[in-house]
Amino acid sequence: MYNIKILNVAEKTIMIKKDMTSRPDLAKSAMGTGAMRTQKPIYVDLLPPCNNACPAGEDIQGWLDLVQNKQYKEAWVLLTENNPLPGVHGRVCYHPCEVDCNRAHTDKTINIHAVERFLGDMAVKNNWKYEYPETQNGKKVLVIGAGPSGLSAAFHLTRLGHKVEIYEAAAVAGGMIHFGIPAYRMPRDELAQEIQQIENMGVTITLNKKVENVSLEKEKGSFDAVFIAIGAHISKQIDIPGKDDDGVRVMDAISFLKKSQENKSNFKIGKKVGIYGAGNTAMDVARVAKRIGADKSYIIYRRDRDSMPAHDFEADEAAEESVEFKWFSTIVEVNENQIVLDKMKIDKNKQLISTGEKENLPLDLLVLAIGQDSESSFLQNAQGVELNQNGTVKINQNMMTGADGIFAGGDMVSSDRSVTIATGHGKKAARYINAYLRNEPYIPQEKNPIVSHQKLHLWFKTYAPQQEQDALKPEKRLEDFSEILQGLDEEDVLFEARRCLSCGNCFECDGCYAACPEDAIIKLGKGKRYKYIYERCTGCAVCYEQCPCHAIEMITDNNTQEIS
Pairing of strands 36-43, 552-562: antiparallel
Per-residue model confidence (pLDDT) at position 544: 95
pLDDT tops 80 at residue 233: no
Mean pLDDT of 11-23: 37
pLDDT of 312 > 50? The answer is: yes
Q: What does the pLDDT read at residue 68?
A: 95
Q: How many CA atoms lie within 13 A of 190 on its CB side?
A: 25
pLDDT bin (cut points 50, 70, 90) of residue 28 is very low
Residue 344 has pLDDT above 50, yes or no: yes
| Among 23-32, 70-79, 223-232, the least confident range | 23-32
Burial of 514 (0-12, 13-18, 19+ CB in 10 A): middle
pLDDT tens column, 100-152:
999 999 899 999 999 999 999 999 999 999 999 988 888 999 999 999 999 99
Q: What's the pLDDT band for 414 if we cut at 50, 70, 90?
A: low
Q: Give the least confident one: 19-23, 67-71, 508-512, 560-564.
A: 19-23
Average pLDDT for the chain: 89
pLDDT of 33 over the 70 cut: no
Average pLDDT for residues 317-325, to the nearest whole number?
Answer: 96
Q: CB atoms < 10 A from the CB of 449, how many?
A: 12
DSSP 159-219: HTT-EEEEE-SSSSS-THHHHTS-TTTS-HHHHHHHHHHHHTTT-EEESS---S-HHHHHH
DSSP 40-87: EEEE--PBPHHHHH-TT---HHHHHHHHHTT-HHHHHHHHTTT-S-HH
The DSSP annotation for 389-426 comes to TTSPBP--TTSB-SSTTEEE-GGGBSS---HHHHHHHH
Residues of the chain with CATH 1.10.1060.10: 51-128+457-498
Q: What is the mean pLDDT of residues 89-93?
A: 96
CA–CA dist 65, 494 (Å, integer): 10
To the nearest 10 degrees (0 to 180), the angle between helices 60-68 and 490-498 is 120
pTM comes to 0.88
Question: 3-state DSSP call for residue 330?
Answer: strand
Report pLDDT for 390: 72
The residue with greater pLDDT, 230 or 164, is 164
Pick the CATH number of 9-45+506-562 from 3.40.50.2300, 3.40.50.1100, 3.40.50.1970, 3.30.70.20: 3.30.70.20
Q: How many residues does the chain have?
A: 564
> Mean of the pLDDT values across residues 261-290?
91
CB 86 within 8 A of CB 76: yes
At residue 15, the pLDDT reads 36
pLDDT category, 34, cuts 50, 70, 90? Answer: low
- When computed from its CA atoms, the radius of gyration of the chain, rounded to whole angstroms, is 28
Does domain 140-233+385-438 bear CATH number 3.50.50.60? yes
Average confidence (pLDDT) over 408-431: 88
Q: Which helix (H) or strand (E) holds 366?
A: strand 365-368
Residue 458, judged by CB atoms within 10 A of its CB (0-12, 13-18, 19+), counts as middle
Domain with CATH 3.30.70.20 in the chain: 9-45+506-562
Q: Tell me the CA distances in angstroms from 510 to 9, 528, 529, one per residue in order.
A: 9, 12, 9
Tell whether the model's pLDDT for residue 3 goes beyond 60: no
Fold of the CATH domain 51-128+457-498: Fumarate Reductase Iron-sulfur Protein; Chain B, domain 2 (1.10.1060)
- Residue 19, pLDDT > 50, answer no
Q: Calculate what percentage of the chain has a pLDDT beyond 90.
A: 73
Confidence bin at 7 (pLDDT 50/70/90): very low
Model confidence band, residue 94 (pLDDT cutoffs 50, 70, 90) = very high
- Taking only the tens place, the pLDDT of each residue in 56-80 is 999 999 999 999 999 999 999 999 9
- Where are the CATH 3.50.50.60 domain residues in the chain? 140-233+385-438, 235-372
Amino acid 329: pLDDT: 96
The whole-number pLDDT of residue 32 equals 55
* Mean pLDDT of the 295-317 span: 95
Which CATH number is correct for 235-372, 3.30.360.10, 3.10.105.10, 3.40.470.10, 3.50.50.60?
3.50.50.60
Q: pLDDT band at residue 549, thresholds of 50, 70 and 90?
A: very high
Q: Which helix (H) or strand (E) holds 257?
A: helix 253-262
24: pLDDT confidence band, cut at 50, 70 and 90?
A: very low
Q: Provide the 8-state DSSP code for 377.
A: G
Q: How far apart are CA 117 and CA 109, in angstroms?
A: 16
Q: Given this model, what pLDDT does residue 16 score?
A: 34
Average pLDDT in the 467-471 region? 94
CA 451 to chain centre: 20
Give the pLDDT score at 35: 57
Residue 23 has pLDDT above 60, yes or no: no
Q: Are 254 and 372 in contact (CB under 8 A)?
A: yes
